[in-house]
Amino acid sequence: MRLEDRTVVITGAASGIGRATAERCAEEGARVVVTDIDSDGGEAVADAIEADGGEAVFYDLDVTDADQFHAVVEEVAESYGLDVLVNNAGTGHPGASLENVDDSIRDFVIDVNVKGVWNGCHAALPRMKEQGHGSIVNVGSLASILGLPKQAAYSMTKGAVLNLTRAVAAEAGPYGVRANTVCPGFTDTQLLEQYLAQRDDPEKAREEMAEEYPLKRLADPEEIANAILFLASEEASFVSGHGLVVDGGFSTC
């Protein structure tokens, strides 16, 4: 059991990568704090984990609300402790050239993808530094290391996540706190469905997308969750400030 007696807080855990991460962490013995703006979905994830013999609770948490993030982290830390924070919640935007992206869409994506991660680090770091240990795993994207066409706002925010994480690793390392980023390639989740739904033929677009990957397929959420689990656990005890690309080799060829 790689996370026995550990408490793991995961944002955006009602669905996709967050959900898979919650399930994997519970399988490895963690007490999982499932958080999301989707209360029904989040509660269902926590209930399913408990039904499987794991330990999970659900908290409503909108990552853009700094006060709420601080309150949830404080309550969790007092009740269960706080060992790992996975800042996973994220959002996309309709594909469009930069000059056609409304400021409101740009700001929304920044609020969720950048300020949401910032809020999580801001809430968790004082406690983690004080206790002398902690692991933060932020979910970036291939768009953290590549600039994707018609995804300028998303790429901007995911690049920021990677470098914010490096700064956190540098600052908090002396206190025994690690911070890392996981950068997934396209992964089968509802976010990807929304992205594909903008195409004339979503199924054909999915096949073409998969064909561009050396492994000729997209990732399953569990494959990203396994990378997050590794970075969260003591197996990665000397890994900090790292951006772990999990893209089936896409970005290397």
Residues that bind ligand NAI (CB under 6 A): 11-12, 14-18, 36-38, 41, 61-64, 88-91, 112, 116, 139, 141, 184, 186-187, 189-192
Residue type, 239: V
Catalytic residue (one of 59, 154, 175, 213): 154
Task: State the nearest-atom distance from the C-beta of 168 to ligand NAI, in Å.
Answer: 17
Angle between helices 16-27 and 39-51 (to 10 degrees): 20
**Quick one: 20 or 77, whose CB is closer to ligand NAI?**
20
Beta-bridge partner residues of 129: none
Q: Is 154 part of the annotated catalytic residue set?
A: yes
**Quick one: 12 or 134, whose CB is closer to ligand NAI?**
12
Task: State the nearest-atom distance from the C-beta of 174 to ligand NAI, in Å.
Answer: 28
**Quick one: 177 or 195, whose CB is closer to ligand NAI?**
195
Q: Which residues of 11-36 are buried (b: 16+ CB within 10 A; e: fewer)?
A: bbbbbbbbbbbbbbbbbbebbbbbbb
**Quick one: 68 or 131, whose CB is closer to ligand NAI?**
68
Task: State the nearest-atom distance from the C-beta of 237 to ligand NAI, in Å.
Answer: 25
Task: State the nearest-atom distance from the C-beta of 175 to ligand NAI, in Å.
Answer: 26
**Quick one: 5 or 208, whose CB is closer to ligand NAI?**
208
Residue 177 phi, psi (nearest 5): -105, 130
In three-state form (DSSP H/G/I as H, E/B as E, the rest C), the secondary structure along the chain is CCCCCCEEEECCCCCHHHHHHHHHHHHCCCEEEEEECCHHHHHHHHHHHHHCCCEEEEEECCCCCHHHHHHHHHHHHHHHCCCEEEECCCCCCCCCCHHHCCHHHHHHHHHHHHHHHHHHHHHHHHHHHHHCCEEEEEECCHHHCCCCCCCHHHHHHHHHHHHHHHHHHHHHHHHCEEEEEEEECCECCHHHHHHHCCCCCHHHHHHHHHHCCCCCCCECHHHHHHHHHHHHCHHHCCCCCCEEEECCCHHHC
Task: State the nearest-atom distance from the C-beta of 10 to ligand NAI, in Å.
Answer: 10
Task: State the nearest-atom distance from the C-beta of 20 to ligand NAI, in Å.
Answer: 8
**Quick one: 16 or 248, whose CB is closer to ligand NAI?**
16
- Active site (catalytic) residues: 154
